[in-house]
Amino acid sequence: MEGFDFPSGILRPHVDLTSWVWFSGVMPIQVKVMERRPRTFWEQSYLPEIIRGLSTTISHLLKHLLRLEKMPTYEYPEQTKPIPEDYRGEHRLMLRPDDTIRCTACMLCATACPAECIEIIAAENPNPDVEKYPSVYTINLLRCVFCGLCVEACPCDAIRMDTQKRDMAGMSREEFILDINYLMKNHPEGKSPVSIAL
Q: Are 101 and 158 in contact (CB under 8 A)?
A: yes
Neighbours of 70 (CB within 10 A): 9
CB of 84 to ligand SF4, least distance (A): 16
Per the CB < 8 A criterion, the answer to whether 146 and 161 are in contact is: yes
Q: How far is the CB of 14 from ligand SF4 (least distance, A)?
A: 51
Residues found near ligand SF4 in the complex (CB under 6 A): 103-109, 112-115, 117-118, 120, 139, 144-150, 153-154, 156, 158-159
Q: How far is the CB of 156 from ligand SF4 (least distance, A)?
A: 5
Helix (H) or strand (E) holding 150: helix 149-153
Q: What stretches of the chain adopt beta strand conformation (E)?
A: 92-93, 118-124, 132-140, 159-160, 177-178
Q: How far is the CB of 135 from ligand SF4 (least distance, A)?
A: 12
Closer to ligand SF4 by Cβ: residue 114 or 188: 114
Residue 84 CB-half CA count within 13 A: 3
- In the complex with ligand SF4, the residue whose CB is nearer, 148 or 193, is 148
Shorter beta-carbon distance to ligand SF4: residue 15 or 117:
117
Q: Which is nearer to ligand SF4, 118 or 184 (CB)?
A: 118
